[in-house]
Structure 1
Amino acid sequence: MGRGHRMKHRKQYPGATPYRDRHGKRRWRFRKGGFSAELGTDYGSDDFVRRYEAALEGHRTRGLIGAERTAPGSVSALVASFYTSPDFLNLADSTKRVYRGIIEPFRQDYGNQPVHQMQRRHVAAILAKKAETPAAANNLRKRLIQLLDHAVSLDWRPDNPARTTKPYRVESEGFHSWDEGEIARFFEVHKPGTLAHRAVTLMLYTGAARVDAVKLGPWNIKGDRIEYRRQKTARSGGILISIPMHDDLRNVLAPLPDDRPFLATASGKPRSAEGLGNAVRKWCDKAELSACTSHGLRKACARRLAEAGATPHEIGAVTGHKTLALVQLYTEAAGREGLADSAFEKLIARPNGEQNVVNLPKRFAKSADNRRIRKDKL
C-alpha cells in the first residue's frame, strides 16, 4: 500500500489503522488515547462504519470519566449535547457520519474552549486555517452554524457569531459530471453483462445516489416505472421518486434474478454504498477516466435531462432534490450551445424571422406594428 493510500484511510477514518493477524489476514483497529477497538476486515463497509462509530463513542465515554470529565459550557460539552438533539438524531445515518467527520476534528482542537467566549473573529480564524480548501472551510462553517444555533437554544450564548461570517468562494464545480464521451468510453471497456456496466447504467438512468442505488431491486419496479424513496430524506418520510424506465435500463435489468438487489454482491447480499463507490473508482481507473466518480453519474443524469429540455421542476422530480438551487447546481454542465439554440427557437416565432408581437407587452407590440406599417408603405 502506498503512502498516499494510507493517508487517505487515516483522513477518512481518523484513528483506524491496518494490521495483520496471526493468520496473515489484514484487519483494522481503532486506537486513540489508549483506547482500542476492532473494526473488522472490510474497510468502508457498513459493518466497519458501525464499529468505527461505536469506537468513537467508546473513546468519548472513556474520556468523560473522573478528572477528564467534559467541562460544562465547553465546545466538547456542546458537541455531546448536539449529538443527542433532534436536529442530529433525525438525520440519516450516512449524513450523521459525514457530520461527525467534520465536527470531531474541530472538537479535538477546541474541545476545552468555553462556548460563550467565542466571537466572530475566532470563527473567522478557525475557518481561515482551511482557506486552501474552501469547500472544506464552508462545510465546517455550516456545522459551526448548527452547533452555535444549538448553543443559543440552550441559552449558553445570546447570538451565533458563525452566521455573521461569509462562505469562501469555491472555484471548483464539485464532482465532475460525466460527459457523453466519458460515458461511451466506460461502456467500451465495460461490456453488457458485467457488474460495472449494470451499475453505471442503473445510476445513469435513475439519477440515484449510491446509498439508494445499492438498495434498488425488482421490488422497486412498478409496471413500466421504478419507484423508491430517498434514504437521505427517510427521517421525514422520504421523497418518493417515480420515473419511467428507459429501454436501455430495462434491457440490463431483465435477465437478473427477482430475489436480490440489482447490484448485489456475488453471494447475493446487499452491497454497501462505500463498496459501490470504491468499485466505481476501480472501474473508472481501468477505463482511464480519472475525473469520473459515482456521484458524477447523478449529475450526468441531470445534465442529460436539462439538455433534452426538461424544466428544473421536472429534473427535481427525477433526482429528488428539494430546491431548484440544487437542481441548478447539478445541471451547470448542460450544453450551453444547445440550450442557446433552444432559447432562440422560442424567441423566433415566425419562419421569416419576424418576432410574434402577440406575445409582447402592449407598448412593445404597438411600436412593432407601427414599424411594420411604415415598412409596408415603402
Structure 2
Amino acid sequence: MSEDIEKRPYLSSYQDRHGTTRWRFRRAGKTIQIKGEPGEAEFEAAYKAALEGRKFTSAKILKLPGAALPGSFRDAWRKVQKTSEWLGYDPATKDKNSRLATEFLSLRLVENNPAVWGDMLVRDLKRRHMKEIIARFHATPHKAKHMLTTIRKMIYVALDEEWIESDPTWKLSYRPEYTGWRAWTDAERALFEARWPLGTTPRTAYGLALWLGNRRSDVARVKWDWFDFRRGTVTIKQKKGDKELVLPITPMLREIIDPLERKGEYVLMTAYGKPFSEKSLTGRMADWTKSADMPKGCTMHGLRKTLGKLLAETGATTRQLMDTLGHDDIEHAELYSREAEQQRLARDAMTRLTKRVHVKKPTG
C-alpha cells in the first residue's frame, strides 16, 4: 500500500472509526475523499479528476423503460411474442396471456423486497420456486393453472435459445380444486324456463348459449345474417381461434328465435337496443338465475357444457363433439364422451346384475 501511495502524488490513506481504510487527495489545503480502492475504475477516474482539478461525478446507471436483461424472464417474454405460435393466437388468447405475463414479471421474489421475477435469469428458476409461485394463487385455482401455462411459454423460449438445458416445470401439474363451470341439471333448466318465457331477453340468451353451444363472446355477437333459413343452417364465427362453424338450425333453436323481432343487426339486444358485452352477460345471467330461485353455479359457460353432455349422452362421437362445440383438441371433447360412456357402461352392467339377482325362483 505504501508503494502505491508513493506512486500517486497527494494521495494518502487512513483508518476510520470502524477500522476501514479510506483514501483522500490533499493539495493546496484542499481535501477530496476518494471512494473505493486503487485499481477500481471509479477510484482511478476520481483520482485522475482530482489531479486535473476537475470535479468528479459518479456515473449513474439509468434503467430505460422496457429494458430487459439478456436471458431474463422479461427478455424471454419479448421473444415469446415473436414466435410463430404466438402470432397465430387470436386476440382474446393474446390478451389473456399478456395480462398473466405482466402480473408474473412484476411479481416480487419475496415480500418486502423490490426484486421481481421479470429481472431474474430464467436459468435461476428452480422447481421449488415454481411451486411457490403457483401456491400464491391457491385462492383462484384456474388462474394458477393458466399462470403456469404462460410461464412455460417463456421457459420453452429459454430452451430454444439454449439458456437452459432442462425444463424446471417438467411434469409439474396443477389441478384446480374444482372442475370449473358445470353443466346445468334438467331441474335447473326447468326452473329457468319456467321463470323466463320464450321471447324474453333472459330466455334468448339462455337458448342461444345452450343450442349453439358457444362461448359468451360468441353468444353476444350472434347476428341475424348468420342464419340461412333457406338452407336451415347458422354459421358461427367464433371469436376465439377465429374458427367458422356451420351448424343446423334445430327445432330447439328455432323455438328461441321465432318469437323475436328483428330490430337490429344482433339477435341478442339490451333494453337500450344495443348488443351485450361479454362481461355484462356473465353478470346478467347471475341475476336471471337468482331471480329464478336457482342455486349458484349455473353460468353461461355451463350451458355450453350442458350441450356437450347432452350430445355425448345421445351417442355423439368425439369428432362430432369437437366439430359442434368448436374444440381444437380432442382432450376437451373426450371429457364429455368419457363421462357419458362411464354412465352407460355402469347402467348396462347393473341392469344385467339386477336381472341375475332378481331371477324368479320356481314355485312349488
TM-score (norm 1): 0.66
Question: Is the 1:177–1:333 Cα contact (8 Å) retained in structure 2?
Answer: no
* C-alpha separation in 1, matches of 2:339 and 2:291: 24
Instruction: Structure 2 unaligned segments of length 5 or more: list them.
Output: 1-61, 108-116, 357-364
After TM superposition, list the pairs within 5 Å mapping 1:14-25 onto structure 2: none
- Aligned-pair Cα RMSD in Å: 3.0
- How many pairs does the alignment contain? 281
- Counterpart secondary structure, 1:96: helix
* C-alpha separation in 2, matches of 1:131 and 1:75: 23
Identical residues among aligned pairs (%): 26
Amino acid at match of 1:93: P
* Stretches of 4+ aligned residues off by more than 6 angstroms: 342-345
1:154 aligns with 2:161: yes
Q: Partner of 2:124 in structure 1?
A: 117
Q: Partner of 2:241 in structure 1?
A: 233
Amino acid at match of 1:86: S
Amino acid at match of 1:106: F
1:260 aligns with 2:258: no
Q: Partner of 2:334 in structure 1?
A: 328
Give the greater-gyration-radius structure (CA).
2
After TM superposition, list the pairs within 5 Å mapping 1:246-257 onto structure 2: 246-254=250-258, 255-257=260-262
Question: Is the 2:181–2:302 Cα contact (8 Å) retained in structure 1?
Answer: yes
Question: Is the 1:260–1:268 Cα contact (8 Å) retained in structure 2?
Answer: no
* Bigger shift: residues 323-332 or 301-310: 323-332
Shift of the 318–259 alpha-carbon distance from structure 1 to 2, 3 Å rule, reads: same
- Counterpart secondary structure, 1:241: strand
* C-alpha separation in 1, matches of 2:267 and 2:337: 27
Question: Is the 2:317–2:337 Cα contact (8 Å) retained in structure 1?
Answer: no
Query: Per-residue deviation at 1:231?
Result: 2.1
TM-score (norm 2): 0.68
Q: Partner of 1:295 in structure 2?
A: 301
Query: Per-residue deviation at 1:196?
Result: 0.5
Query: Larger % of helix: which?
Result: 1
The match for 1:93 among 91, 94, 98 is 91
Shift of the 344–151 alpha-carbon distance from structure 1 to 2, 3 Å rule, reads: same
* C-alpha separation in 1, matches of 2:226 and 2:349: 37
Shift of the 257–335 alpha-carbon distance from structure 1 to 2, 3 Å rule, reads: farther
Instruction: Structure 1 unaligned segments of length 5 or more: list them.
Output: 1-63, 354-378
Query: Per-residue deviation at 1:279?
Result: 1.7
The match for 1:244 among 245, 248, 254 is 248
1:281 aligns with 2:286: yes
The match for 1:139 among 142, 146, 165 is 146
After TM superposition, list the pairs within 5 Å mapping 1:305-320 onto structure 2: 305-320=311-326
1:127 aligns with 2:109: no
Shift of the 114–210 alpha-carbon distance from structure 1 to 2, 3 Å rule, reads: same
- Counterpart secondary structure, 2:302: helix
Shift of the 252–130 alpha-carbon distance from structure 1 to 2, 3 Å rule, reads: closer
The match for 1:224 among 220, 228, 232 is 232
- Counterpart secondary structure, 2:119: coil
